[in-house]
Amino acid sequence: MKKIILKQTGFNFGWKPVHVEPATLKGEFYGPRKWQKKAFKKSHKEPFVIINAPMGSGKSWLMCLLAVYKLQKDPNLRCIIAVPQTIIASGFEEANLLMPGTNKELRWFAQHNMCMETPSEGTIKTVIKFLKGPYGFLQDRVLLCTHATIIAVYKRLKETKQLKLLHNLVCWIDEAHHLKNALVEGLEDATISNGMGELVNYLTRYGKNVHLGLATASFFRGDRLSLLTPKMEEQFVRFNLPYDDYLESMKYLRSFNFDFLLSGPDFIKGIRTLLKTRIGKDIIYIPSPNSRCALGCKYETCDQIIEAYRKVFGGKRIDRDDGVTILRRKDGKELKILDLVQEELRKDKKAFVGKIKDKDDLDVVIALGMFKEGANWIWADRAIIVGARSSLLDEFQMIGRLFRDAKGKKNVEVVQLLPFSLDQTNSEKFRDNLNNYLKAIYASLILENIFNPVKIQVPKGKKKKTGSLPESVDWLSELLPDDAAKLSLIEDVSNTLMGIIDTPSIESVDLWEEYNSVLPDILDSYGIKSHVDEISKQIWGMFAKRTLSVAGTSIDKIDFNILQQASPIEFITKYTSGVCNIDTFRKLRSAIGQFNSADENKKKLLKLAMNGEPRPDGRLGNLLCNYLAKKGKCHDLIFEKEIRKLRPDWFVNTADENKKKLLEIAKKKECRPAKNKHPLGKVLINYTNEGPCYDPVFEKELRKLRPDWFVNSADENKKKLLEIARNSEDRPTNKTLWVTRLTKKVANLGTALLSYTKKGSSYDPIFDKKIRKLRPDWFVNSADENKKKLLEMAKNGEPRPQKRKHPLGDRLVNYTNQKASGGSSYDSVFNKKIRELRPDWFVAQHDICDEKKEQLLKMAKAGELRPVTKKHPLGSVLCTYTCSASGSYDPVFDKKIRKLAPQWFINTVDNKKEQLLKMAEEGVSRPPEKKHFLGNALSSYTCSKTSSYDPVFDKKIRTLRPDWFLGVGKWKRNAS
Amino acid sequence: MLVNQKNWSCPKKQKARWETIISQYQKHFGNSLPTDSQYWTMCGQCGTENGEPLDGCEPSQLIADGLILPEQFYGVEINPEIHVLNVKAFPHLNWINDDFYHAMVVEQSQNNFNPAIVNADLPQTPDGGGAYISKLLAFLTETAGDVLFIANLILRMKYYTAKDGDYVINLLNDYPQFRYAMSEGNWKLADGFYEYNGAGNTGSRIYMGSFVFVKIC
């Protein structure tokens, strides 16, 4: 037997110890919980199953159990579990299952975990290979991937006509609310589907031996489109775990509050108010920067929130390396805040969340788009949602974070912070705010009903249960399972109730009767024809429960008679008391009246007209214009005729007068009246542009008289640009200026060209097409050209183009570095390509630094002179590695080199100052700049604007030699 | 994909093979493989572009050292060009052009899988290849008898901070497939890990690490 002996130097080889022991699978085996048992019983023999259960209730475990059951039963089956994001995959990675019935122990894990693996053949090819088989053992028949992967696989199989590979499959789709299969109104069988929807459609229609499971906590979409068509849904067996049942199964969590706070436009104040009541384990969801209620920059908003916590909690702010912000008080107490809005260190922050093991590890999370689906921080007990969200699903996901059981967590609280007040004079804003307010209230009603539904006892004779209390049913959810539709129904009912009430003190009994007379029609419009009485009671109960809970009445197991006596909608007033100091209810009613009762307004206007009062201004004046505007949506011809007849004086046409004046100005060859400067500027626009005041005859006449008034500088620019293009000139840059001929404006043609050809407010598609046709070379993507050039350079073995020295140096950095220029120019394909071609161009900076440091140490050891900046290639780097203020400062190297060559670090500045003071004392003349080696130094040490300015030295030398500073020159100001 | 990869038959690689495969097998099982068992490897390029065997390449070394017979060698290569060169250079050996894991599953499904040594020489770092190694170990737990499993990983390279054995085992411990294998397969990690710097005739900035797992039923 040959033994190979290596004698070459520079090689490193040999056995090294490993101190860590390989781990084994641990943990006890568990059987299903009560609800899981029920769900298993209902669904284990069904091919198509929907599991609708709250977050954290154990859906994933049940899915694994059902999958194993089917895989064990049929050896031909394989299983794919799809999750929306890789981080959610952890719930399916392993489970210790005790199989129901047999009590057989089974260690579940997905042998093919595409959320962890990076297959060399690519994920899609690997999944297809998995579907083709063969398989080794039970777990080898399980694959875990993302929704995106399974959709891509489906598309690939469809393209390659291999869809049969999807037969004999158990497919579980987690977070199935991402599905879309919506019927198109008026078109039978036409559906709008997303990728996942198409896959589900295929599997339910054509799949052979296919077992499909959909699991979600919220079986509805934010956009209110359906997940499955009614035909598809018919095929599924559905198991719902209501929130109240889930809450009952929890060990610690017992109750839930939903509250509003109208905070005024600055919601930070609202947050501070909340924090003063208590600092909980908070999740704060701030609004998107594009939202109406955003304060502007999202990062600043987060800083303000942290500051709000600091003001209430106290302490000093410390930003830790792992992205956690700590407020540390002198008494040692800390508040840990995780700002997920700031993208920096987001990976570390996510990892931090995953590692939380203790209640004290984290106190506050600030999030915007994150920390909804799949996020797990069990100690969170309060969600503060800033702004009303249009998506119930979104809100539901946010609230869902709180519904995790944790020791000591008895109650969770959701606060919807509405950053506005209803006490506003601007009617448009008021209307918006009102809409947001109502939106939030309706959503809260639905959410509350989801978490703690009003149930109605089954009437006698319909369902019988022997020996137990009569069964209660959530009829509304039974007959209208789609929560988005429920939201819309509640909105309709609420508006109807508002319409019924004339005075705030209406007796509830009357309202109840009125309500019952109108409700059947509303329910009918939602396709609800049965159990109308029960649903009517239930919806009333939803409103009434809220009213009573606000009034402080315990609503646990409340009798419906008490609910019936409560005055619904009253709660709206309660929520704002003490915040806005207005009678919100009255305001709401009048506001709703404003927008819903146009007849009332018309009546008021006619009354004013008849009473001989002057034409109204303000809101009624605007409404009058709206009712008369022929092209407007509110135009009412009968009303117009009537009111014109009554009050012709209200309609003396000032427009004719204005037009006359404008024609006179035009004839006098005066300048066009400017929009915001001349009283006729605005009306000129109105008369000559499409709109209610447009007068084509006047426009034609005016244009004939003064065509120059209608020349748009943009038109002139475009003409000029087309001319340049035709003349084969270069593409105008942002330095190409010209003065427009007619409008006499200075225009930047480069910028103008960009704005007319790039999607935005000034974009002109016709011009864009024209100019691109004329000069395609102007629109060649310079980035593509640059990349081509860079690849050529790389192939030709040229050195890397240096940043700031070579025109392509900066570009190369931008294309290959995600962090450079905000990542907007980063091109992953090009990056990979060029790095493959020229790895030497990308030698890590730290390697270069190490080399340079080694060279410097060598020089120091050899006793060489200190390398001088700008003269020696290592001069400037020596400064940066040894200057503590520099970003590249290396304390170890600094210590080392100072020890080796202390002479390199003698402060030359102090020396120079000493010499200058000596010269000053000796009475010699001031060392001239550029001629004496100390001339420049003196100037810089005594000029307050330089970085080397030394005020002590300056004072000293000026006292010694004021004559040095009296000369006329650029340092004269210092002398004064 | 490129052919003419690094020289996998360089002395460093041969020494590493001797230390981690030949010597380890002899220490735990015997001088050579039982005749009915197989040697499975992700072998890389073993032939020149002219179809000649590369001196000291994996099959040559193992056969010359008497560890295996030619028919016991199962070389799996995912790159079809390299596979063709390998077949050309060693027509009498068993060559499979497929993914390593899949190739073994296929063979197992045909009841033709009886590995004594499985050499997973991954061109990946622990972070990139940990999941695959775990998957292989879980598969071998279920399907193989006495077996020596070698996982070869890149421990240091450009843009990748050097890792050690503790890091690799800690990382593998995160994978349920690995823990399943360790629970059910009676696997043992042998003699720490063997570290060497890269392949090729010159010094290399790449450090490789071989982790040898022994399964004795």
Task: Give the nearest partner residue to B166 out of A18, A25, A136, using CB atoms.
Answer: A18
pLDDT given for residue A741 in this prediction: 66
- Please give the C-alpha separations between residue A559 and each of A248, A455, A467, A554, A898, in angstroms, as whole numbers: 20, 11, 22, 11, 85
Minimal Cβ distance to A16: which of B183, B184, B193: B193
The values of phi and psi at residue A336, to 5°, are: -105, 125
Cβ contact, residue pair A16, B15, below 8 Å: no
Q: What is the pLDDT of residue A465?
A: 45
Burial of A742 (0-12, 13-18, 19+ CB in 10 A): middle
Averaged pLDDT of chain B: 89
> A791 to chain B nearest CA, in Å?
19
Whether residue B128 and residue A118 make contact (CB cut-off 8 A), yes or no, is: yes
CA–CA separation, A411 and A402 (whole Å): 9
pTM check: above 0.95: no
> What residue ranges in chain B does DSSP mark as E strands?
38-42, 73-76, 94-96, 115-121, 147-156, 187-196, 207-215
3-state SS, residue A443: helix
Which residue ranges in chain A fall short of pLDDT 50? 1-3, 5-9, 462-469, 502-509, 573, 575-585, 592-597, 968-976
Ordered DSSP codes for A29-79 = -B---HHHHHHHHHHTT-SEEEEE--TTSSHHHHHHHHHHHHHHH-TT-EE
- Neighbouring C-beta atoms of residue A200, cutoff 10 Å: 27
d(CA B67, CA B25): 9
What pLDDT score was predicted for residue A474? 77
B206 touches chain A (CB under 8 A): no
Q: How confident is the model at residue B109 (pLDDT cuts 50, 70, 90)?
A: very high
A3 contacts in chain B (CB < 8 Å): 18
Which residue is associated with the tokens 């792992």? A322
What is the CATH code of the structural domain delimited by B11-28+36-215? 3.40.50.150
Instruction: Tell me whether B63 touches chain A (CB under 8 Å).
Output: no
Chain A interface includes B99 (CB < 8 A):
yes
Nearest to B177 among A13, A15, A109 (CB): A109
How many degrees, rounded to 5, is the angle at CA A425 between CA A420 and CA A429? 50
Amino acid letter, residue B210: S
Cα separation of A942 and A960, whole Å? 13
Give the per-residue pLDDT at A429: 66
> Looking at the complex, does the CB of residue B177 fall below 8 Å from at least one CB of chain A?
yes
Contact A13 B12 (CB under 8 A): yes
| Neighbour count for residue A964 (Cβ, 10 Å) | 20
Which of A393, A379, A498, A505 has its CA nearest to residue A443?
A393
Percent with pLDDT over 90 in chain B:
69
Q: What is the spatial distance between Cα A56 and Cα A70, in angstroms, rounded to a whole number?
A: 24
Q: Residue A839, exposed/middle/buried by CB under 10 A (0-12, 13-18, 19+)? A: exposed
Give me the residues of A, 109-148, that contact B with CB < 8 A. 109, 111-113, 116-121, 126, 129, 133-137, 139-140
Answer whether B192 sits within 8 Å of A118, measured CB to CB: no
Q: Is A17 on the interface with B (CB under 8 A)?
A: yes
Tokens of A558: 């409340």
Looking at residue B120, what is its pLDDT? 96
Dihedral angle sign, alpha carbons of residues B161, B166, B172, B176: negative
Q: Which residue has the higher pLDDT, A469 or B95?
A: B95
3-state SS assignment for residue B178: helix
pLDDT of residue A576: 42
Please write the tens of the pLDDT for every residue from B169-187.
999 998 999 999 999 998 9
Position A491 scores a pLDDT of: 76
Distance CA A462, CA A447 (A): 28
Distance, in angstroms, between B33 CA and closest chain A CA? 15
Residue B148 pLDDT > 90: yes
B183 interfacial to chain A (CB closer than 8 Å) = yes
Q: Are the C-beta atoms of A745 and A791 separated by less than 8 Å?
A: no
d(CA A123, CA B83): 22
Among candidates A411, A437, A389, which has minimal Cα distance to A287? Answer: A389
Q: Provide the pLDDT for residue A972.
A: 42
Inform me whether the pLDDT recorded for B25 exceeds 50. Answer: yes
CB contact under 8 A, A19 and B128: no
Query: How many helices (H) and strands (E) would you count in chain B?
Result: 8, 7
Q: Where are the domains of chain B?
A: 11-28+36-215
- Short-list B202, B207, B199, B209, CA closest to B7: B199
- Predicted-complex ipTM score: 0.92
Residue A967 is predicted with a pLDDT of 58
Structure tokens at B12: 């460093």
Q: Is A213 helix (H, G, I), strand (E, B) or coil?
A: strand
CB of B138 within 8 Å of a chain A CB? The answer is: yes
Let me know: does A349 contact A60? Beta carbons within 8 Å: no
Which residues lie below 8 Å from residue A434, measured CB to CB, with a gap of 6+? Answer: A422, A588, A591, A592
Which residues of chain B make contact with A24, given a CB cutoff of 8 A?
179, 182-183
